A = this chain, B = another copy of it.
């Protein structure tokens, strides 16, 4: 692949199932489509951020077959910009597919990888960080990952231990190592000591650099991808073959933790991966005595501190606090907010019971 001063592309990863947002999220209506904040879906907000970086014409979405139509409707993107995965193979393959497809069109492209289901409140600061990351990615041929300055001893995120400043790129740092989700004690130490950032899963790199690093760090994945790189638009059969061969790994594990050319750009704007009802509740400002209503008709609530997502019918909460009450037209969840990560168990049990209708 040749090297040119390629343009900026953005790749939105919309492949997640979002089971932890059941029953609002479903297999056919996953988390990126949820209109959780100010009536806007997470995907809508991500699309806006992507366009700010890449312009109208160079935004791509990777998603599963079952969501392709909804993604088209929601984004208005042309079909050629929607990369439909024939199977679920985690983020390494999604990123790899996007890289080979973009390389075929624009071999010098720099691309930003944006998960479709994050919340970022400061769009300008975010854009500016992506631009500085893109400059570094282009000129130093590095993989840049966004590192968010921790504001609390969070145990739900992976961390990046920062290394020395990257010479000639003000604000960017080398990465010393990636750290798995820590326990509470270590999370507190990271926060106290400094020098640790949350790994946001937002990346900037050139297609060439990421493909080189996939080849170096994840040769299996590279071999699966290689046949897709030689044509502008691979056939469905070629795609199926590639996905059958591809390992199912997160890009962090497949590449980032192994590569020697990873930098990070520390940022301090508000970011959240809104992984659970609890983190959405925090995002919306739920706290003791203060309930937030995403949608619906909360008719009574004497204690407060709840997250309510209703349908048309009136909801009354009496004597309860710290609950998520999620009442979609066709299912009802009442859960302690601090048990948010166990919502997956509910979905697993529904599936085990053959209740596919409810998942």
Q: Which residue of B lies closest to A353 (CB)?
A: B299
A277 to chain B, nearest CB (A): 10
The residue in A22, A314, A331, A358 that gathers the most chain B C-beta atoms within 10 A of its C-beta is A314
* Chain A interface residue count, Cβ-Cβ cutoff 8 angstroms: 37
Name the one of B316, B323, B349, B350 contacting A331, with C-beta atoms under 8 angstroms.
B316
A334, B355: Cβ atoms closer than 8 Å: no
Interface string of A298-331 (1 = CB under 8 A from B): 0110100000001001111111100101011111
Inter-subunit contact A339/B319 (CB<8 Å): yes
Cβ–Cβ contact A327 & B332, under 8 A: yes
- Minimum C-beta distance from A37 to chain B (A): 23
Mask, A343-354, CB within 8 Å of B = 1, is 101100110010
User: A81 on the interface (CB 8 Å rule)?
Assistant: no
The CA-CA distance from A355 to B358 in the complex, in Å, is 31
Contacts of A179 in B (CB 8 A): none
Kindly report which residue of chain B lies nearest to residue A329, judged by CB atoms.
B313
Shortest A145–chain B CB gap in Å is 34
Given the known interface contacts A299-B349, A300-B350, A355-B299, the answer about A334 and B331 at a Cβ–Cβ threshold of 8 Å is no
Q: Taking the complex as formed, is A336 at the interface, i.e. its CB lies under 8 A from any CB of chain B?
A: yes
CA distance A349 to B300 in the complex (A): 7
Q: Does the CB pair B325–A355 fall under 8 Å?
A: no
A342 sits at the interface (CB 8 A)? yes
Chain A residues at the B interface, C-beta cutoff of 8 Å: 22-23, 299-300, 302, 310, 313-320, 323, 325, 327-336, 338-339, 342-343, 345-346, 349-350, 353, 355, 358
17 A–B contacts from the bound complex (CB under 8 Å): A22-B316, A300-B350, A310-B332, A313-B329, A313-B330, A313-B331, A314-B331, A314-B355, A316-B332, A316-B335, A316-B346, A316-B350, A318-B333, A319-B338, A320-B323, A320-B335, A320-B336
